[in-house]
Structure 1
């Protein structure tokens, strides 16, 4: 008769597996301690007052980070650095960016430093009157993202939860000087610019805008046109009055900044053919405001749009020195235009004389 096999301890195999796992963990800990005994000293011979610039690219794997540390003289052993980060559970906590790393750190202290250090900051000035795409190009020269990556957010106002409705982010990237971390993303930068916009156009100013029966987007649209026209800030409230007077009378705004907005590329001297471009932004063809802002206006232009001067002016033309001549009637305006054309002609003749070869 066959005997049924009955093991004395049915859990023996499981107990052995657990012991094996425990032994493996113990060996790993002992190996880690052994490897870290020497790295507990300085990981490099650099003096403690030495600062080394280290750049960690976005998405760089741990091995690439270690190679960069070796190249910069901050570590001598890739393996010891790995085990230092592994035992601290920080192999995935070394962030992209550019850092100033002090010399003379141990492997463990170097891991701690890189896991909590803030990247270097970049100071960027965004001028008044830039279009969204122009801002994207400017920022792409300072950061690792492309202008296209930044510009892709133009029609994503819903991502930033503004307290009012807008059709796009054009006009709402507040022009100012900012300090950003070197690894800042387009979304982080846009959020910062919008936050500054909400500081400048705060609740009290938005309440005034509502009391005037206007929306924030309408005010910023007018402000952007003023920003594009004015070189002298004291003239901004007067220019605002001209546009509001024309709107009240049902006249076309005939604002050059709205044409510049639909002409691709850098700002140019407008010709008659540009004034005939069929676009809702063409205020020479269509009455009323364009669909939205045409650039990001500064505070003076915004305040001028909210608090315009009270005038009867309907026209203005450049003098040639940055200021404007304002007129109430079309006849006065034609005289002012003729005077400006004379100034322009004199400038042209002077340029031709300067180019002519001397006898």
Structure 2
């Protein structure tokens, strides 16, 4: 907001008479014209205080000083109102005291022009200062905002990097675990395959061995029915359980030597009826019991498949059958003949 400019006045000319002056009814001789006063350093009193004005001798200088004072007041008022409007603290303005020589040189018109120039300069300076302050504040705010955004982006980037590294580590661990499990499964599978292969080889070897033994061993009876197995409990046996393997067949059925050996016994044996014992090369004794007839003698060498007697029902029996017992090493207690025969490649 600016103050109203003062109305321009005509320059004062001393030789001209005014038809009417302020405060008087007519022209007065004591109003002038006066002589021009040129101040010097000796005639001027030292300037003290604020806004001291040199001695005036003409009305033009007085009016110029008045106009200059009004302009200063207007400028100060405008600056205060501008500060109030902008919401910022007021800016203090100090004007130096002007010597009267400057005021006299300016004249009435010059004083008004100087006042306007001073007012314009103060207003422009205040506006520029406010603009610079606002620009500085905006620049500072923008710089702070940019720093905050940059820090946030940096932190987010760090979090993203950590999350990515964690995900990569988890993926690598999962892959490693999967590979380890796959390797373990492959190793286990290979081990199983190897075991199966070894088992197959072992079984094949056993089959070959049994096939070879089968050529050396034979079943004692060709046509038969298994009616009693080893270990059966019953009161009909003196030991309380069955001690051999029974091949039921009609009386007179041929009995063959299971393996080659030597006849160590041939004759009556009480509850066993007619019995023949063949001792093998490893010391195992084979007992052939309940025969109806014996076809070999003690000390005779027999081979696999030789006829040694015939099926009968002699001794403690309920019907015709061959009772076979196996006694390893000639021991009194026998073993299961079924297991022993299968170990030789035979399947009763």
| TM-score category of the 2 structures, normalised to the smaller one | under 0.3
- Structure with the largest fraction of strand: 2
Which gives a bigger RCO, structure 1 or 2 (Cα 8 Å, sep 6+)? 1
TM-score with structure 2 setting the length: 0.17
TM-score with structure 1 setting the length: 0.16
